[in-house]
Amino acid sequence: MSNMTPEEIRAKIEANIPQKLHKELAEIYSQKISISKGIWGFFKSKKAKEQTLSKQSAHLGLLFMNCFEKYRDQNRVRWYYKDEVWQGGERLEAFQELYDLDNLWEGEHYQLLIFFFGEEVAPFVKKAWEQMPEFMYQTGYNRRSFRRPNHKVNNYERQINFIINLINYDTNHPFSIKEAISYDNCLNNYYSKVEYVWAAALDTGNKERQNTKQHPSET
């Protein structure tokens, strides 16, 4: 891994990724087509393998990205790809009604994680999703370390918002996991939740990731 300055790192950040994902998912949803790379694969085309994303998985991706008008907050003037779900909202209810959220990534929809995050990162996003019920559930400045692992709706809300966050803040650079951890201070928005992914990667016991050092500019 070559040493790079913060300016060089930031220069590799790709703009308008959500818009590009939206366009590709919409094309897949309109008719089942074969895709050769997800957004991380977009930067690493030599490593990308042929993948097939089903129409139903494309629908799921569009739902994560807030692309269906009927599920958006009608009280807001504008909608954004990064808009989160909340308990009692139509979008969260759609997730619950249309998908088996307890086993969401066990079948064909796992290909959607590869589409969004690439083959290297997808397993750790899945693991982080599975770990979410064990983490403290409150958010904001008044959060405390309470846990409610058996409160399914609360868990679904947090798990879905976790994926929404990653799509919008952490799919826009070409770096490997090891590089992304090293360059994290230059890559991530203040609101990023990518640290859950890196923690999941460390939980696999991969010594290479555990030995990842700080960027030289920080030492």
pLDDT for position 191: 79
Tell me the three-class secondary structure of 28-96, residue by residue. HHHCCCEECCCHHHHHCCCCCCCEECCHHHHHHHHHHCCCCHHHCCCCCCCCCCCCCCCCCCHHHHHHH
DSSP character at residue 142: T
Q: Which of 99-103, 134-138, 162-166, 207-211 has the lowest mean pLDDT?
A: 207-211
Higher-pLDDT residue of 145 and 168 is: 168
The mean pLDDT of 171-196, rounded to a whole number, is: 81
Largest CA distance in the chain: 51
- Kindly report the pTM of this predicted structure: 0.83
Give the amino acid at 37: K
Q: Which of 26-40, 41-55, 119-133, 187-201 has the lowest mean pLDDT?
A: 41-55
Q: For residue 109, what are its two tokens?
A: 């929809």
Query: Percent of the chain, pLDDT > 70?
Result: 76
Q: For residue 201, what are its two tokens?
A: 């990667």
pLDDT for position 101: 96
Q: Note the pLDDT tens digit of each residue in 28-48.
A: 898 755 554 444 444 443 344
Listed as own residue / partner, the contacts of 121-124 with beta carbons closer than 8 Å and 24 or more positions apart are 121/40, 121/177, 121/197, 124/177, 124/197, 124/198, 124/200, 124/201, 124/204
Mean pLDDT of all residues in the chain? 81
Higher-pLDDT residue of 166 and 192 is: 166
pLDDT band for 148, please (50, 70, 90 cuts).
low
